[in-house]
Amino acid sequence: MRLRHIEVFHSVYTTGSITGAAKLLFVSQPSVSKVLAHAEMQLGFQLFHRNKGQLIPTPEADMLFTEVDKTYRQLRSIRKMSENIKRNDFGQINLAFTPALGFDVVPKALAKFRQEHPNIRFDLETTHNDQALQALTEHRCDLALLYSSPPMPGVTKIECGEGEIVILYPKAQFPDEPKVLSPEQLGKTELIGIWDSGPLGELAYDRLTNDGVQVESNLQVTSYYVAARMVAQGLGCCTIDKFTALGNLSDKVGIASFAPPLTFKINGLYLDNRPLSKVSEAFLKYLKTEISQ
Amino acid sequence: MRLRHIEVFHSVYTTGSITGAAKLLFVSQPSVSKVLAHAEMQLGFQLFHRNKGQLIPTPEADMLFTEVDKTYRQLRSIRKMSENIKRNDFGQINLAFTPALGFDVVPKALAKFRQEHPNIRFDLETTHNDQALQALTEHRCDLALLYSSPPMPGVTKIECGEGEIVILYPKAQFPDEPKVLSPEQLGKTELIGIWDSGPLGELAYDRLTNDGVQVESNLQVTSYYVAARMVAQGLGCCTIDKFTALGNLSDKVGIASFAPPLTFKINGLYLDNRPLSKVSEAFLKYLKTEISQ
DNA sequence: CAATCCCATAACCCTGGTTTATGGGCCAAG
DNA sequence: CTTGGCCCATAAACCAGGGTTATGGGATTG
């Protein structure tokens, strides 16, 4: 019994006539007639008794119809689902990201994405670099967004844009609110240390030591945003990613770049054997534009 | 998404390879390859990522598969069901019959039928001629078996064989156990009256009056089998259908035919707009052979 | 009796799925 | 490094299922 047989049988059974079924299916009457005959031939028993031009379903047809009707609904739900998938109007995105992106980047990207694709489910989770691989392999997320992640085996890494490491300082310390701070200026300030907190810490540490700045500090922090709040309290300066800086701004702090600017890559990670879904890719576009501004 | 697409997708997803799916479906490998490609083209998104010769299902495929799998099961259950219907190994027979057939004919026919078609469900009900039409129209039964039923509007009548009206007599009354009784002999006995009990009563009544036999009796019965038991108690003779007679035999009674034999038709009735199912027809064959002996 | 409706058949056509044949990438073993 | 095996994709030819129009016959209705 082919799909066409099922469709035709269903239509004939519901409309009660071949002509009606033909109209319903937008095909010619002889076509329905022939397909139905073929179905009966292949099934080996009559589905309808032809009596004076009208069709009477046989008891066999009654029995089959209950089954066929179920399948028919299923088929339509498949088609609807595939339509939704095609329009990215169905599915789920399980996202893990470094906390810094949670202040503005992800929320803003998600808000814009939602306007176009309101039916996508999201599952969000913040994660640090060292936990990301675990989250991926345990299928807690399909996609992890990290700052300058090292390559991992079995994981595909794509670029989602660039971030910048900036210096957050209390305005009290630099009343003229400079946009750039030189190594000399930095050397005079108290620095809040975040050197142990992942690749970004190392990056900043290397740069500072290369520039001859003393990086010893008696205030160590492992969360960027905590460091930012420390700066707001006037406890010192801090090298920090710009997203966290912008997301924890206050009127007491200023932002300055390194000279030349110190940038890093933002990466998306997913397992090799679990390729990104189309909706995830669509979402990534929103994320990239959000990052780039 | 065509049925073939679903089949191919299901096979590829479950086997994990195109070659494997081809073997499962008993077709060539390029065929599967092409159909799958066509399905993806028509769906508008990839179902599998081709990576170094191996296929990795996309998340979209995962989502679709849950739906497709349901449908696939349904399809197989349709095919199985249609197979069973074709072999008369599935279905239900709702049968109503005149009580006389319930002693031996129907039970024996049913027993033999069961050996060949063990999975058919039966719903049995005894009915008198005047209630049969109601049972049919109320769909309490698909087929009614009656003695010499008159034609009814909207009901198809078929012949299932012949029955005979015989005379049941106490052996005490005819010790030589005759196989035939003449009108004169009958005239001398006391007759138990069943004349009001449907067409058979009339048939016997007409025959007896034509033969000049007095049919007045002071013992009236409306159920044939009750009359038979009366005869066994030596209360008189009785004209009765042979099936009831044989089904209620005892060593105290004998059976004699009219001369010439008085026969009637046994009919099967069903509604015009509810044609008999194939299993019912198959069962009818068993019934006919059971009646004919 | 004509008009209409419904179904079946006939003759033809076209697309989709099948086949065989072939070639390219990857891997493992010699 | 080469060779053979496995897997997938492509190409070209073929076949059939399902589509079409045209037509005819049985039933019902005005």
Does the structure show a pLDDT above 80 at A273?
no
Q: What is the CATH number of the domain that holds B279?
A: 3.40.190.10
Q: Which residue has the tokens 């049913």?
A: B110
Task: Pick the residue from chain A with its C-alpha nearest to B87.
Answer: A44
Q: Can you say whether the dihedral through the CA atoms of B224, B225, B230, B231 is positive or negative?
A: positive
Q: For residue A105, what pLDDT is reported?
A: 94
Q: CB distance from B6 to chain A under 8 Å?
A: yes
A118 and A59 together in one domain:
no
Mean pLDDT of chain B: 89
Do A272 and A258 lie in one domain? The reply is no
Tell me how far apart the alpha carbons of residues B192 and B240 are, in angstroms, rounded to a whole number.
Answer: 10
Contacts of B111 (CB under 8 A, 6+ apart): none
Nucleotide nearest to A17 (CA to C1'): C6
| CATH number, domain with residue B250 | 3.40.190.290
pLDDT digits (tens, 9 = 90+) for A119-131: 888 999 999 988 8
Give the model's pLDDT for residue A246: 94
Angle at B286 between CA B280 and CA B290, to 5 degrees: 135
Q: How far is CA A253 from CA A171, A190, A236, B80, in A?
A: 5, 15, 10, 75
Query: Which pLDDT band, with edges at 50, 70 and 90, does A257 fall under?
Result: very high
Looking at the structure, tell me whether residues B27 and B169 fall in a common domain: no
Q: Indicate which of B82, B92, B271, B274 best probes the interface with A, i.e. most A CBs within 10 Å of its own CB.
A: B82
Q: A59 with A109, same domain? A: no
CATH number of the domain at A27, please: 1.10.10.10
Residue B108 CB neighbours (<10 A): 15
- Taking the CA of residue A30 and the C1' sugar atom of nucleotide D24, their distance in angstroms comes to 13
Look up tokens 């576009």; give the residue. Answer: A285
User: What tokens were used for A23?
Assistant: 């109209």
Asked if B43 has any chain A CB less than 8 Å from its own CB, the reply is yes
**Percentage of residues in chain A with pLDDT exceeding 90?**
45
State whether B56 and A275 contact (CB < 8 Å): yes
Place B187 in a pLDDT band, splitting at 50, 70 and 90. Answer: confident
Q: How confident is the model at residue B258 (pLDDT cuts 50, 70, 90)?
A: very high
pLDDT tens readout for residues B130-183:
888 888 888 889 899 999 988 887 788 899 999 999 999 999 999 999 999 998
Radius of gyration of chain A (CA): 32
Cα pseudo-dihedral B255, B257, B262, B267, rounded to 10 = 40
Q: How far is CA A108 from the centre of its chain?
A: 13
Residue A107 has pLDDT above 80, yes or no: yes
CA distance A194 to A240: 8
Task: Give the domain-ending residue among A61, A86, A111.
Answer: A86
Same domain, A182 and A172: yes
Do residues A209 and A259 share a domain? yes
- B219 in the same domain as B80: no
Cα–Cα distance between B280 and A79 in angstroms, integer?
39
Q: For residue B112, give both structure tokens.
A: 């033999």
- C-alpha span between B64 and A191 (Å, rounded): 54
Residue B268 has pLDDT above 80, yes or no: yes
Six-digit token pair at A290?
């959000």
Cβ neighbours for A176, distance < 8 A, ≥ 6 positions apart: none
Task: Judge if B75 and B188 occupy the same domain.
Answer: no
pLDDT digits (tens, 9 = 90+) for A29-69: 999 999 999 999 888 888 998 877 788 888 888 888 988 99
Backbone angles phi, psi at A138, to 5 degrees: -85, 5
| Closest chain B C-alpha to A47 CA, distance in angstroms | 10
Q: What distance in Å separates the CA atoms of residue B160 and residue B4, rounded to the nearest whole number?
A: 46
**pTM metric for this prediction:** 0.70
Any A CB within 8 A of B77 CB: yes
The reply to whether B229 and B149 lie within a common domain is no
Which one of B86, B104, B126 terminates a domain? B86
A10: which 2 tokens?
Answer: 């269903």
Fill in the DSSP letter of residue B99: G
Q: At residue B55, what is the residue type?
A: L
Give the per-residue pLDDT at A153.
76
How far apart are the CA of A126 and the nearest CA of chain B, in angstroms?
22
Q: Which domain holds residue B59?
A: 3-86
Q: Are A162 and A264 in contact (CB under 8 A)?
A: yes
> Does at least one atom of strand D sit less than 7 Å from the CB of A50?
no
Q: Which of B46, B67, B86 is at the close of a domain?
A: B86
**B237 & B280 share domain:** no
- When mean pLDDT is compared across A3-7, B270-274, B275-279, the lowest value belongs to B270-274
A56 phi and psi angles, rounded to 5 deg: -115, 120
Size (chain B), residues: 293
Number of domains present in the structure of chain A: 3
Local confidence band at A293 (pLDDT 50, 70, 90 cut-offs): confident
What is chain A's mean pLDDT, rounded? 89
Is the preceding peptide bond at B30 cis, omega within 30 degrees of 0?
A: no
A86/B44 touch (CB, cutoff 8 Å), yes or no: yes
* Interface touch B64/A85, C-beta < 8 Å: yes
Tens digits of per-residue pLDDT, B122-145?
999 999 888 888 888 888 898 999
Q: Are residues B64 and B205 in the same domain?
A: no
Q: Give the tens place of pLDDT for each residue, B37-76.
A: 888 888 888 888 887 778 888 888 888 888 889 888 888 8
What does DSSP assign to residue B70? H
The pairs formed by B227-232 with CB atoms below 8 angstroms and a separation of 24 or more are B227/B168, B227/B192, B227/B194, B228/B168, B228/B253, B230/B192, B231/B168, B231/B169, B231/B170, B231/B192, B232/B170
Rounded CA–C1' distance between B53 and D2, in angstroms? 21
Same domain for A172 and A251: yes
Q: What is the largest CA-CA distance in chain B?
A: 104
